[in-house]
């Protein structure tokens, strides 16, 4: 399809309202090839010949040669560049040459592992037994896999829960383990990545115990700091392979901004991104274009699939059954069925969360629709790269949501197309995370002195704390686990800072999905609307003790938004610096959140239909934050101007949270904020922005360091927004527990002018 002509056709339609604010043509790229220095094993060469693979891209050759030299490697090239061969070629070659050698492939999702096991079995090499080992593996198959598998495909969760705590059962496998492949490395950032980094360190010490020293091979989408990030993830030096020799087809990339409603500058400023995405997705599918739409929330995924299906039933009824939603929380058999339909071409369109952002082979797709900026430039290119078949042209469209960050990007397209990808950040030494893994490690085998170096500089102090609490006992230079019963690993969810997930159940016992415990009060409280595969359910009961959410089918035309209160206590200031007329501070805080009720909001219009109270217990979070007080004379100026001071600090807080992802690799849902006209500890007005994870993972520390740039961009976002009194594009927040009340746009601008007029000083280092 000629996608340039398609975009021009959209511009000529009567309903077009200048939504395409920028379109850029990205030319294709020719392939570059290299030659291996040594021939591959004959059996492997036979398979390559049978599949007409005669030449290798330059980055594939470089990766194979580095791995043959024994180096730890990170391959960082574009989507669909053949990264899988970068590790399959040297690993299979080595396993064919050494019958005792073993390899472990780790993927962030079960779907990726299932996809790759089919590829590996196609090699037709009986000498290499291939198996998947994850939570879906039947118990009767697990012992044979432990005994016979030479190439094991799993995920970090299963290594953490099913292999390391039972490592003596895996003695032969670990003794022969020569390679560990970590696919989609860029996924392992934040809390998940910090946990995985410690799982890898636990794996390395058990391999050492059982007599092996495996070589690590990572693959990743583009990041700004691949060498630093990979080294931090593994705790080892790495060689980066990033000279991409793969070809790519031409691509049109359009930025799409939903129009103002009737051209008005009201608080409900723009048409819904959900509605715009639904129309574009249905239009592309209706023209036979194989399309994937990416969303940032499960609820939006379900809604777009639901409403696109309704549009297609009217316009092209034969295509209505050829689209499907896809997201985390589905049962494994449902995910496999959707993946097969997509790969086989039975599905023309799929609406997905980040679950399909990764490298599952879904066949050739032609167009990618991104509903909202996914939070990082790296993720944006990864999603856009899912469309494009070889040298064929493709289309990517980023549809802006009505929030501060997306609207900033619509006005600054060069930021997206010319700025390098962000730095990926993890903190394996986060005290909350590391303490949990030290418990796990000690329960596996007693800790010894070299382990403290393996786990990092904070390990010694944390081991001392575990001795003080009686969880570890020092004996003869070792630290032994004293706990009984359950393995400590069973208490650690490496994908979440909270406990095990809640099951979503249709009584009496049908499980249809899961929800994280940290989000269950906000997403699955009694009365909440829960969407699953296009169908709406109302939460009838939240069983906290049993970790079960009971739901019943509901035909509703609204969604729900929780109403919460937040209390923040300063625990330990760690750094401060003069900042204009005030002081910027950073430190440890405790955040207490309680859901008090919820609003029923009409779909698309977001009109509040009613607010209902609920009674749920408070939740506490020990984390980090940066904050600053509002000087008394600045508060007085705002009040004398007849503006709402409380609404001003609340609006400033919202806008700053919306912009912070420009400066730290995070999503606005990873951070929170609260503003006080008079904070109980200081007696003064204070604005706090806090990290949404226990102990913090560096997001607000970055905000503290870049306070000037952050607040300057915040002011620009508010000033440039065309609304009169504030809207979702500047100061309203979709996650506001106070339902965006009170807010005052003019007061926020006056506060920012006063705070930025005399800014000074370099931040004091955090200690």
Q: HEC string of 154-183?
A: ECHHHHHHHHHHHHHHHHHHHHCEEEEEEC
The CATH architecture one would assign to domain 3-27+248-418 is 3-Layer(aba) Sandwich (3.40)
Q: Residues with Cβ < 8 Å from 356, sequence gap 6 or more?
A: 292, 294, 326, 350, 362, 386
Quote the tokens at residue 767: 């200690």
Quote the tokens at residue 410: 């619509």
Q: What is the distance between the alpha carbons of residues 491 and 483, in angstroms, rounded to a whole number?
A: 13
Pair 683, 765: CB distance under 8 Å: no
> Pairing state of beta strands 151-154 and 671-676?
unpaired
Count of C-beta atoms within a 10 Å radius of residue 310: 13
**Backbone torsions φ then ψ of 454, nearest 5 degrees:** -60, -40
DSSP run (H or E) holding 253: strand 251-256
Counting beta carbons within 10 angstroms of the beta carbon of residue 477, is it exposed (0 to 12), middle (13 to 18) or buried (19 or more)? exposed
Closest CA to 712 of 743, 668, 749: 749
**What CA dihedral angle connects 62, 65, 69 and 75, to 10 degrees?**
40
**What does the pLDDT read at residue 485?**
60
Q: What is the distance between the alpha carbons of residues 648 and 423, in angstroms, rounded to a whole number?
A: 32
Quote the tokens at residue 398: 């980023």
| pLDDT, tens only, 508-541 | 989 988 887 777 898 899 999 987 766 789 999 9
**What does the pLDDT read at residue 500?**
67
Count of C-beta atoms within a 10 Å radius of residue 598: 23
Q: What is the distance between the alpha carbons of residues 752 and 758, in angstroms, rounded to a whole number?
A: 11
| pLDDT, tens only, 213-241 | 999 999 987 777 889 999 999 999 999 99
Helices 745-756 and 632-640, interaxial angle, to 10°? 140
Alpha helices in 57-176 (DSSP H): 58-68, 83-97, 110-121, 139-148, 156-158, 171-175
| Residues in the chain, pLDDT under 50 | 267-268, 760-762
Q: Residues with Cβ < 8 Å from 568, sequence gap 6 or more?
A: 589, 590, 591, 592, 625, 674, 679, 688, 690
The SS3 assignment for 572 reads strand
**What does the pLDDT read at residue 432?**
84
Q: Residues with Cβ < 8 Å from 20, sequence gap 6 or more?
A: 7, 10, 11, 254, 255, 256
Quote the tokens at residue 235: 């705790």
Hey, which residues does 567 pair with through a beta bridge?
592
Q: What is the distance between the alpha carbons of residues 54 and 176, in angstroms, rounded to a whole number?
A: 31
The CATH architecture one would assign to domain 33-241 is 3-Layer(aba) Sandwich (3.40)
Pair 702, 435: CB distance under 8 Å: no
**Backbone torsions φ then ψ of 438, nearest 5 degrees:** -65, -40
Domain ranges, ordered by start, for the chain: 3-27+248-418, 33-241, 431-491, 503-556, 563-597+615-756
CA angle (144, 147, 148) in 5-degree steps: 80
Q: What is the distance between the alpha carbons of residues 441 and 167, in angstroms, rounded to a whole number?
A: 11
């Amino acid at each position: 399809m000629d996608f340039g002509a398609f975009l021009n056709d959209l511009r000529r339609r009567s309903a077009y309202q200048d939504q395409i604010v920028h379109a850029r043509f990205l030319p294709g790229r020719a392939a570059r090839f290299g030659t291996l220095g040594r021939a591959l094993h004959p059996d492997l060469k036979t398979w390559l010949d049978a599949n007409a693979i005669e030449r290798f891209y330059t980055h594939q050759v470089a990766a194979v040669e580095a791995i043959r030299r024994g180096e730890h490697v990170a391959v960082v090239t574009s989507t669909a560049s053949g990264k899988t061969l970068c590790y399959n070629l040297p690993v299979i070659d080595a396993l064919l040459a050494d019958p005792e050698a073993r390899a472990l492939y780790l993927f962030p999702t079960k779907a990726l592992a299932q996809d790759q096991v089919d590829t590996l079995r196609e090699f037709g090499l009986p000498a290499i037994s291939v198996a998947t080992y994850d939570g879906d593996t039947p118990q009767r198959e697990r012992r044979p896999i432990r005994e016979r598998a030479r190439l094991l495909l799993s995920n970090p969760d299963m290594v953490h829960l099913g292999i390391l705590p039972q490592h003596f059962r895996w003695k032969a496998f670990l003794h022969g383990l020569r390679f560990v492949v970590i696919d989609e490395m860029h996924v392992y950032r934040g809390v998940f990545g910090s946990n995985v980094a410690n799982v890898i360190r636990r794996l390395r010490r058990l391999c050492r115990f059982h007599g092996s020293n495996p070589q690590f091979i990572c693959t990743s989408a583009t990041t700004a700091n691949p060498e630093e990030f990979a080294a931090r993830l593994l705790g080892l030096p790495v060689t980066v392979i990033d000279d991409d020799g793969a070809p790519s087809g031409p691509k049109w990339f359009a930025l799409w901004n939903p129009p103002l409603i009737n051209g008005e500058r009201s608080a409900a400023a723009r048409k819904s991104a959900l509605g715009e995405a639904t129309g574009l997705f249905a239009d592309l599918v209706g023209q036979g274009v194989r399309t994937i739409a990416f969303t940032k929330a499960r609820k939006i995924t379900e809604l777009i699939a639901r409403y696109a299906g309704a549009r297609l039933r009217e316009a092209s009824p034969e295509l209505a059954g050829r689209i499907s939603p896809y997201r985390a929380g589905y049962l494994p058999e449902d995910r496999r069925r959707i993946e097969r339909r997509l790969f086989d071409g039975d599905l023309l369109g799929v609406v997905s969360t980040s679950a399909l952002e990764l490298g599952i082979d879904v066949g050739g797709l032609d167009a990618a629709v991104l509903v909202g900026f996914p939070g990082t430039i790296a993720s944006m290119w990864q999603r856009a790269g899912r469309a494009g078949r070889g040298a064929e042209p493709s289309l990517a469209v980023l549809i802006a949501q009505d929030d501060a960050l997306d609207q900033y990007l619509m006005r600054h397209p060069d930021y997206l197309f010319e700025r390098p990808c962000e730095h990926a950040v993890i903190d394996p030494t986060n005290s909350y995370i590391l303490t949990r893994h030290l418990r796990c490690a000690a329960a596996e085998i007693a800790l010894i002195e070299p382990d403290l170096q393996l786990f990092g500089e904070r390990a010694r102090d944390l081991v001392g704390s575990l001795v003080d609490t009686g969880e570890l006992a020092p004996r003869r230079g070792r630290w032994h686990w004293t706990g009984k019963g359950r393995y400590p690993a069973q208490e650690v969810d490496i994908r979440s800072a909270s406990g095990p997930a809640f099951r979503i159940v249709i009584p009496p016992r049908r499980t249809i999905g899961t929800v994280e415990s940290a989000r269950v009060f906000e997403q699955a409280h009694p009365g909440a609307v829960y969407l699953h595969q296009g169908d709406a359910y109302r939460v009838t009961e939240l069983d906290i003790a049993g970790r079960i959410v009971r739901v019943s089918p509901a035909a509703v035309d609204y969604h729900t938004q929780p109403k919460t209160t937040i209390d923040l206590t300063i625990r330990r200031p760690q750094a401060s610096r003069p900042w204009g007329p005030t002081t910027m501070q950073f430190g440890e805080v405790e955040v207490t959140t309680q859901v008090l009720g919820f609003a029923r909001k009409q779909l698309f219009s977001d009109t509040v239909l009613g607010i209902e109270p609920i009674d749920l217990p408070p939740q506490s979070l020990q984390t980090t934050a940066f904050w600053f007080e509002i000087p008394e004379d600045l508060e007085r100026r705002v009040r004398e101007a007849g503006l709402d001071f409380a609404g001003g600090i609340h609006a400033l807080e919202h806008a700053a949270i919306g912009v912070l992802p420009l400066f730290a690799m995070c999503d606005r849902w990873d951070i929170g904020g609260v503003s006080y006209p008079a904070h109980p500890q200081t007696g003064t007005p204070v604005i706090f922005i806090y990290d949404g994870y226990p102990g913090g993972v560096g997001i607000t520390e970055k905000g503290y360091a870049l306070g000037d740039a952050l607040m300057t961009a915040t002011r620009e976002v508010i000033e440039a927004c065309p609304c009169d009194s504030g809207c979702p594009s500047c100061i309203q927040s979709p996650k506001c527990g106070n339902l965006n009340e009170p807010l005052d746009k003019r007061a926020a601008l006056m506060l920012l002018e006063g705070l930025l007029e005399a800014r000074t000083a370099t931040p004091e280092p955090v200690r």
